[in-house]
Structure 1
Amino acid sequence: MQAPPPTPPTPRPKRLPPPPPVRGRRAVPLGLIAVLLVFVGLFTVGVGVGAATGFDLREIFRGPDKPPPRDFPVLEPSRPKRLRIPAIEVAAPILTVGLADDGSVAVPPLNRHNEAGWFGAGPTPGQYGPALIVGHADTRTGPSVFYRLRELKPGQRIEVLREDDETAVFQVNSVERYRKEKLPVQRVYGDYSRPSLRLVTCGGTWLGGDRGYADNVIVFASLIGTRKR
């Protein structure tokens, strides 16, 4: 009996050539896309206080009508010029900021991300009430002015040089983190028990897109003294 002819080998499927690239565009790795999205979010999201809680910061910063008690130093109004926090190696100019389009506190422009921003509708540092200074945590080029803010500890010093050449010296009371939608508004902005300072930046979980970080990192500090430059 004659043997059957051998079975021919199964042909391998031909590998199709890759599609030609679209002119004018380059492929971007997925990891790099994710990084770019994070940094775009850092640029488009501000400190994020105000809009989520539905209050008018200008109104709450008016403070009480009665004069402050004199149990502690109280300075006359004078615009802040420079911020110094020795414990985290911050020495930065201060510019004046207002409200962003969404009603939140604006932050310094990105080309000045290593400067701090004083909210000009509130008290000046050393004046009766809570002075508010905000700043970026980071940008695509690296850390910004308030990158290490969360490292501050109670008892450490913060100094603000003012235009009248008086330096307001504050002591850190606490460093706290809050979800932006659960910000204790009255405690942060409505405390007119004495001259105080609030330093604010972003922190917590990155939510992506135009939502930015989930939290605000807030330093609470009280005025403990002054000195001439």
Structure 2
Amino acid sequence: MAGKGRRGWTGPAAIALALFGVVAIAASGEGSWRDILAGGNNPPPREFPVLEPSRPIRLAIPSLDVRAPVHSVGVADDGTIAVPKLYRHNQAGWYERGPTPGQFGPAIIVGHADTRDGPSVFHDLPDIEPGARIEVTRRDRAIAVFEVNTVEHFDKDELPIERVYGDYVRPGLRLITCGGRWLGDGIGYADNIVVFASLVDVRDA
């Protein structure tokens, strides 16, 4: 997430995402989907593909010229989503307690914006535009193709947890990194940048 910025390194504690409540929501998997439907609502028409579980292994964002390996991340000591280790700053991390890309619900992929050595995998994420395609290659060799809906900035203390993690009406993707104002060493950046995207196609790798 946040790295050095312009003034210095923030340290591992400072770069953890402020994603309180994520474990209870994202780890619940299809249970959340069933809960949403429990009020007598009918499932939406499936005018989109839905895939069986399979871990992501690669991420491509053609419009940003991003191509990166994806590995699994879990929960940090403070209860937030863990971020990739600094030596993996050019890799992305998939939150392994949530849906895999293509399942119902939002698959969560996080990455650093920069480190003391320069730009990292999600450095240019704020520049992605609605309509852009994001391609996630899965272990089963299916490529899940997502279309960007919106790109939004949230103060780390005001992240809309239910909107980011609780939308199980269709297969979705969230790309998350840090951004906004640099607040200094030990704090990092002020915001989380969240890309909201929806699954629109599947093809073979």
Q: TM-score range by the shorter chain?
A: 0.7 to 0.9
Equivalent residue number for residue 138 of structure 1:
114
State the Cα distance separating 1:165 from its structure 2 match.
0.2
Q: Which has the higher contact order (CA 8 A, sep 6+)?
A: 2
1:97, 1:108 within 8 Å by CA — same for their partners in 2?
Answer: yes
Equivalent residue number for residue 19 of structure 2:
50
Identity across the alignment (%): 55
Residue-by-residue CA offset, 1:33-87 (whole Å, 9 max, x unaligned): xx79943205442242324xxx2x2221212226865332100000000000011
State which drifts further: 36-45 or 112-121: 36-45
Extract unaligned runs of 5+ from structure 1.
1-34
1:174, 1:220 within 8 Å by CA — same for their partners in 2?
Answer: yes
Change (3 A) 1:38 1:102: farther
Give the structure with higher Rg (CA): 1
State the Cα distance separating 1:209 from its structure 2 match.
2.8
Counterpart secondary structure, 1:223: strand
Q: 2: CA distance between counterparts of 1:192 and 1:83?
A: 22
TM-score, normalised on structure 1? 0.79
64, 70, 77: which one aligns with 2:53: 77
1:76, 1:127 within 8 Å by CA — same for their partners in 2?
Answer: yes
Extract unaligned runs of 5+ from structure 2.
38-42
Counterpart secondary structure, 2:152: strand
Equivalent residue number for residue 34 of structure 2:
65
Equivalent residue number for residue 18 of structure 1:
none
Instruction: Give the paired residue count.
Output: 191
Q: 2: CA distance between counterparts of 1:226 and 1:188?
A: 23
Equivalent residue number for residue 13 of structure 1:
none
143, 146, 149: which one aligns with 1:167: 143
Counterpart secondary structure, 2:82: coil
Counterpart secondary structure, 1:94: strand
Equivalent residue number for residue 165 of structure 2:
189
Q: 2: CA distance between counterparts of 1:223 and 1:167?
A: 11
Equivalent residue number for residue 40 of structure 1:
9
TM-score, normalised on structure 2? 0.88
1:47, 1:134 within 8 Å by CA — same for their partners in 2?
Answer: no
Q: 1: CA distance between counterparts of 2:55 and 2:18?
A: 22
2:8, 2:184 within 8 Å by CA — same for their partners in 1?
Answer: no
Equivalent residue number for residue 203 of structure 2:
227
Q: 2: CA distance between counterparts of 1:37 and 1:89?
A: 24
